[in-house]
Amino acid sequence: MLQIPHIRTHQQKVIEGLQKRGVKNAEDLVDQVLEYDTQRKNTQTKLDNLKASSNNQAKRIGQLMKQGKKVEADKLKQQVGGSKQEVKDLEAKLKIVSNKRDEVLYKLPNIPHPSVPKGNTDADNKVESEHGSVPTLHDKAVPHWDLIKQYDIIDFEVGTKITGAGFPVYKGKGARLQRALINFFLDEAVNAGYSEVIPPYLVNQDSGFGTGQLPDKDGQMYHAQEDGLYLIPTAEVPITNMYRDVIVEETDLPIKHVGYTPCFRREAGAWGAQVRGLNRLHQFDKVEIVQIQHPEKSYETLNEMCTHVQGLLQKLDLPYRVLRLCSGDLGFTSALTFDMEVYSAAQKRWLEVSSVSNFETFQANRMKLRYRTGDNKKHFTHTLNGSALALPRIVAALLENNQTPEGIKVPAVLQPYTGFDIIN
């Protein structure tokens, strides 16, 4: 959530940033936020002054009663009675204008970092770099949705019978490959200084709001309405919310966590080969890295997190590229995001496997997550997270790029985890 003082101080820059993201009525929305906030401030001032006056009158009544001046005390009591009703009216008005301000404020996405390229769709994302060589496949190479049937390692039909489309069942070596990747990603993160956590897979409404999934992505999350809980779309939500309403010491920064969770997303996406097989699922596994960092160091940290993700792809020997997302493709809460895409040789297309983002103070403001300096002043932290990594498209690329007439070769780095070097 954008900070009101920042909007007031940098009003034109905020408007330009929102317009860059495609918010058409940005100027009107900003004006509404500031007008409601002005009304809120004025109402709060009146309320505070009235309460202070009422308190003084109450003390005066006590003094008059002690002095035996009952008539004067009774007159003053009548005035205080009228003030009490005015206090209730002002409190009601304060609640109304505060809610109106917040309702508009919650619609405003984060302001993009100056380095974010302007654009409307993923076609406008900037390719920062490309790495690795695209493998040359044998003549009978096929996409992963054919490979998983050939080697009986993932079953979509059984998953559809049990639950529905987008919920596959991993079997045999497919299940072991899945577990191997999870453990490999976790171990790499722990070795890089991240502390592992196993968070809940369900979160309450406050947690969904804290990291910005609510109300922005309400329709995309699975909702257990009777309990008011949501299945998590990413481990970012529960892990970051561990620090909601927390004040951390400046000396404790950065805070680094890694967690594995299944992720649940309702969005259906497009049709055809782009979402076929493992390309788009409603339930999938992901290892997430999260950092809570000092504002002055967050962009250095963003680069470090991107380097960590690239290191995983290099160890898996997957060709990949790094994209700087344009303003139109940027997530609601992000100030700057880098996507990592691997090349799928059989599909002959790039597949997104990781997004690494800096949210600056946007999430921290919503969660009231602050750090305390040595002089006891409190400031909002910056929050960052990244997929390290999401499994479905990694598995798709590994299966396709490593297929041979004899079977699917397992990358050397995974063999200690799988216990086998080929799927055949």
pLDDT of residue 80: 64
What are the tens digits of pLDDT across the range 28-46?
999 999 999 999 999 999 9
Residue with tokens 């900070």: 3
Helix ranges (DSSP H) in 192-297: 205-210, 236-240
The verdict on whether residue 370 carries a ligand-binding annotation is: no
Q: Tell me, what's the pLDDT at 390?
A: 97
Distance CA 51, CA 84 (A): 9
57 has pLDDT over 90: no
pLDDT at residue number 272: 55
Q: Among the listed ranges 40-54, 91-105, 184-198, which one has the minimum average pLDDT value?
A: 40-54
Tell me if 385 is assigned to a ligand binding site. Answer: yes
Is 267 annotated to bind a ligand? Reply is yes
Q: For 324-337, what is the mean pLDDT?
A: 97
To 5 degrees, how large is the angle CA 120–CA 336–CA 6?
A: 100
The answer to whether 352 is annotated as binding is yes
Q: Is the confidence at residue 270, as pLDDT, over 50?
A: no
Q: Is 353 annotated to bind ligand?
A: yes
Place of tokens 């063999």: 415
pLDDT of residue 2: 97
What's the confidence (pLDDT) of residue 393?
97
241 carries a ligand binding annotation: no
Cβ contact 359:234 at 8 Å: no
pLDDT, tens digit (0-9, with 9 covering 90-100), for 96-145: 999 999 999 999 999 999 999 999 999 999 999 999 999 999 999 999 99
Confidence of residue 200 (pLDDT cuts 50, 70, 90): very high
354 labelled binding-site residue = yes
Q: What mean pLDDT comes out for the span 376-387?
A: 98
What SS3 class is residue 332? coil
Q: What is the mean pLDDT of the chain?
A: 94
Partners of residue 262 on adjacent β-strands? 285
pTM across the whole model: 0.92
**What pLDDT does residue 82 have?**
61
Averaged over 249-265, what is the pLDDT?
A: 98
- pLDDT value at position 81? 60
* Domain range 122-423, CATH class: alpha beta
Whether residue 127 is annotated as binding a ligand: the answer is no
| Average of per-residue pLDDT across 137-163 | 97
Residue 86 predicted with pLDDT over 90? no
Q: Is 97 annotated as a binding residue?
A: no
Q: Identify the architecture of domain 4-105 in CATH.
A: Orthogonal Bundle (1.10)
**Three-state secondary structure readout of 138-198:** CCCCCCHHHHHHHCCCEEHHHHHHHCCCCCCEECHHHHHHHHHHHHHHHHHHHHCCCEECC
**Band of the pLDDT at 273, cuts 50, 70, 90?**
low
Q: Where in the chain is the domain with CATH 1.10.287?
A: 4-105
- Boundaries of CATH 3.30.930.10 in the chain? 122-423
DSSP state of 214: T
Establish whether 309 is an annotated binding residue: no
